[in-house]
A and B are shown apart, each in its own frame.
Chain A
Amino acid sequence: MEKAVDKTIITVVGKDTVGIIAKVCTYLADHHINVLDISQTIIQGFFNMMMIVDLNTSQKPFAECAKELEELGGKIGVTIKCQREEIFDMMHRI
């Protein structure tokens, strides 16, 4: 069975612009956070990206990463949210 623990979903929503993915990925690389999956699309005219990442190897705790990513989003002009994967698993999988 797939191990479900400690996967985190990062969502990035906002106006499309150059370098959003690069900036987010740079942050993740700098903090030793491994990206497991990325998908990106445009929903109702807005840039939407979802990343599944593994925070186990991160040097910082969840709350700190979440806060820093949120601040990074503020700088780029997009909303960045970190949530543990279980909330989506619970809602969409039986």
Chain B
Amino acid sequence: MINIWEVHETNKMIEHENLDVRTITIGVSLLDCIDSDLKTLNDKIYKKITSTAKDLVKVGEEIEREFGIPIVNKRISVTPIALIGGAACKTPDDFATIAATMDAAAKEVGVNLIGGYSALVSKGMTRADEMLIRSIPDALCGTERVCSSVNLASTKTGINMDAVKLMGEILLGVAEKSRERDSVDCMKLVVFCNAPDDNPFMAGAFHGVTEADAVIHVGVSGPGVVKTALEKVRGENFETLCETIKKTAFKVTRVGQLVAREASRRLQIPFGIVDLSLAPTPAIGDSVADILREIGLEYAGAPGTTAALALLNDQVKKGGVMASSYVGGLSGAFIPVSEDQGMIDAVKANAITLEKLEAMTCVCSVGLDMIAIPGDTKASTISGIIADEMALGMVNQKTTAARLIPVIGKGVGDTVEFGGLFGYAPIMPVNPYSCEAFINRGGRIPAPIHSFKN
């Protein structure tokens, strides 16, 4: 039987160390909504989303109450819209109407974000893919809750450099369109290499075509719990350090597994995966950077950071896989800048640079995340940063991503407020030298040699 100390430990994690379930995300397939008439398509999409996810928020709240574990977000991901809208949409504006429909459906069921305004273009773009990408500035700035992602590269296909070039321009387009609000709509847009089909985290969640009609994914969190556990093993060797992280990750993930199972049972929607991610928030004591400091670094970004993060990420996975029957999504430590107070402190102290963050993304999920850069950064430079990140993912056979926010009208030294869970970020300097000739070459970078495994 459970004893009082175990109950105390669990409740301490929830009450004092920010243990929570970051998100329950329902993936909804829209493949059966495809129609050549735009209005019919939009009607079908609205109906499918609102009927499949109608009880999501209610069930999420029930689980929160009964188990006493906060579930911070309830969200929806849908099939990449470029696939769904191709038959009906003749212009980028037609695509933007689908974003409006998704936004309305999200509001109707009460979820805070809906992902899947996406295109998968790792090898080439169809006409529909390109139209969807060109509609992103209107789609994101005209809606509140819609998130967009574009898969630009994969280990199997290489990097679609035409799309990388286009995304640099599109990102600036989104920044420009939301300039009055510090270009905040950029945080709803992310580009990927090797994007997973079952990611529950925004902005990159979409419901892959390999998935069932509807499926439940759960993303856990708990940097605060790991940090507190590590406080007790200060000065101990790496074996003890790793053991401690592993055990803690196990406990955190078990909660995610329980919530996923319960949500699946109550909503009668199959359980997909638990995403084992350490997802920070700007709340004090909910920081991945603070874990790195606890491991022994003065600031995140100090020499040794990449090694410490590699170790952390690996132990989280090793503890987590034992705790859940199905693990998927991004699964690893997130290192967003704005959503992590320890990371913000590191930027302010000049301890961390864009280049160091890039190195860190080689050993953890996901990528350059929530990084504010000067608004006068050139589109080709943004494409260059994206291309570097895509190359890391392609060669290392892992997911990488970039979510950059060029803040129009602001420069290095300024700060930008995103609000709520998204936090705030000091604007980071970007290498000033040009990569325009490289980006303008056009075409694609071939898949690496080690992708030929057949």
Asked if A52 meets B66 with Cβ closer than 8 Å, knowing A87-B255, A90-B254, A91-B251, the reply is: no
Which of B6, B66, B251 sits near A62, CB closer than 8 Å? Answer: B66
Q: Indicate which residue in A52, A66, A90 contacts B257 across the interface (CB closer than 8 Å).
A: A90
Interface residues of B in 1-41 (CB under 8 A from A): 1-4, 6-11
Contacts A63-B65, A83-B68, A84-B67: A89 and B11 contacting too (C-beta < 8 A)?
Answer: no
What residues of chain A lie closer than 8 Å to B7, measured between beta carbons?
Answer: 9, 11, 50, 88
Q: Which of A34-77 contact B (CB under 8 A)?
A: 37, 39-41, 43, 48-50, 52, 62-63, 66
Among A37, A52, A66, A91, point to the contact of B255 (Cβ < 8 A): A91
Cβ 8 A contact of A86, one of B1, B6, B67: B67
For residue A66, which residues in chain B have a CB less than 8 angstroms away from its CB? 65-66
Chain A residues positioned under 8 Å from B4 (CB to CB): 39-41, 48-50
**Among A9, A43, A48, contact of B2 (Cβ-Cβ < 8 Å):** A9
Per-position 1/0 for B51-68, Cβ under 8 A of A: 000000000001001111
Tell me whether B357 is interfacial, beta carbon within 8 Å.
Answer: no
Q: DSSP majority for the A interface?
A: strand
In the assembled complex, B140 has its CB within 8 A of some CB on chain A: no
Contacts of B65 in A (CB 8 A): 62-63, 66
Q: Which residue of B lies closest to A79 (CB)?
A: B15
With both beta carbons as reference points, the residue of chain B lying nearest to A93 in the complex is identified as B2
Q: Does A32 belong to the interface (CB within 8 Å)?
A: no
CB neighbours of A83 from chain B (8 A): 66-68
Least CB distance, A13 to chain B, in whole angstroms: 8
CA of A50 to CA of B62 in the docked complex: distance in angstroms?
22
CB–CB A91/B6 < 8 A: yes
Contact A85 B11 (CB under 8 A): no
Asked if A90 meets B255 with Cβ closer than 8 Å, knowing A11-B7, A83-B67, the reply is yes
A87 → B minimal CB distance (Å): 4
A63: chain B residues at CB < 8 Å are 62, 65-66
Smallest CB separation, A28 vs chain B (Å): 17
Q: How many A-B residue pairs lie within 8 Å, measured between CB atoms?
A: 64
Smallest Cβ-Cβ distance to A43: which chain B residue: B8
Number of chain B residues close to chain A: CB under 8 A = 21
B445 within 8 A of A: no
- The reply on B69 being an interface residue by CB < 8 A is yes
The minimal Cβ–Cβ distance linking B5 to chain A, given in whole angstroms, is 9
**Which A residues lie within 8 Å of B68 (CB)?**
81-83, 87
The B217-258 residues at the A interface (CB cut-off 8 A) are: 251, 254-255, 257-258
Q: Is the CB of B66 within 8 A of A88?
A: no
CA distance A87 to B69 in the complex (A): 9
The residue of chain A having its C-beta at the shortest distance from the C-beta of B19 within the complex is A91
Given A66-B65, A90-B257, residue A85 in contact with residue B2 (CB < 8 A) = yes
Task: Give Cα A63 to B8, complex, Å.
Answer: 22
Whether the Cβ atoms of B10 and A88 lie closer than 8 Å is yes
Other 14 A-B pairs with CB < 8 A, given A92-B2, A92-B6: A9-B2, A11-B8, A37-B1, A39-B3, A41-B4, A48-B8, A62-B66, A85-B2, A87-B67, A87-B255, A88-B2, A91-B251, A91-B255, A92-B251
Q: List 25 A-B contacts (CB under 8 A).
A: A9-B2, A11-B8, A39-B3, A39-B4, A40-B4, A48-B8, A49-B4, A50-B4, A50-B8, A52-B2, A62-B65, A62-B66, A63-B62, A63-B65, A82-B68, A83-B67, A85-B2, A86-B67, A87-B255, A87-B258, A88-B6, A90-B254, A90-B255, A92-B2, A92-B10
